[in-house]
Copies of this chain bind each other. A is one copy, B any other.
Amino acid sequence: MRNKPRHEIQRARQRAHYDEAIVHAVLDASWLAHVAFSGDGGQPFVIPMLHAREGRSLLLHGSIASRLMRRLGDGVEACVAVTVIDALVLARSHFHHSVNYRSVVAFGRAQPVTDDRDKAMALARFVDIIVPGRAAESREADHNELAATALLRFDIEAASAKIRSGGPKDDPADAGAPIWSGIVPIESRLGAPIAAADATPGIDVPASLLRSGCRAHVMHE
């Protein structure tokens, strides 16, 4: 194992990016993060969490009762991965099958954010990254809810992005083989909204959802 900086990509270097704008664009492309850290005795843990980027930091939240949030908040070394899969890549050979993806691996440490106003703003951010504009349509957190929320700010010390795009890279020897080759985009979209069983009657699908491309027709549980 060569002694290289932890964020420096060794393999497929043509796919590596260290430019901050590219790293941030990938981080902003998905609110699902996988957060890793070492527990007692070096035992690795990785847990899925929502994240919201704020400058060179990622906001993470959870319950104040969470031992994992406490451990992270102690400022241990952490590693966060954000991954988006864009397409399936079908080559003529098994070996060259792949997927197109954008991913970031970021290294740093987290620290707790305890100010109530900062926490309230962060909770609103989390609502708005799920559905832009939704925070303004729903009730802000009250004092008890803020007290029950642990908020962490993970400061990115080093990060790299890895991106694969484009078609399959087939072996030249396979040229002309009667096998289809190409890519298939993976598309993600919102389905029809389903009103809660205890939904307040007579409330239309909110503007935030309509702007996100949701159908106006609501289904009921």
Contacts and interface: CB of A to CB of B under 8 A. Distances in A.
Interface string A39-73: 11011111110100000000000110111001100
A67 B179 contact: no
Nearest to A175: B198
Contact of A179 (B95, B142, B200, B214): B200
Contact of A191 (B91, B124, B186, B203): B186
A25 interface: no
A44 B79 contact: yes
Contacts of A115: none
Contacts of A105: 45-47
Contacts of A177: 139, 200
Interface in A149-192: 149, 167-168, 170, 174-192
A138 B6 contact: no
Contacts of A187: 188-191
Contacts of A85: 32
Contacts of A188: 186-188
Given A138-B97, A182-B195, A90 B131 contact: yes
Given A93-B145, A95-B145, A43 B185 contact: no
Interface string A119-153: 00001101100110011011111100100110000
Given A48-B81, A179-B200, A182-B199, 19 more contacts: A38-B42, A46-B105, A50-B99, A90-B209, A93-B139, A131-B184, A137-B179, A139-B174, A170-B196, A180-B205, A180-B209, A181-B198, A181-B200, A182-B221, A184-B193, A185-B191, A186-B190, A187-B188, A187-B190
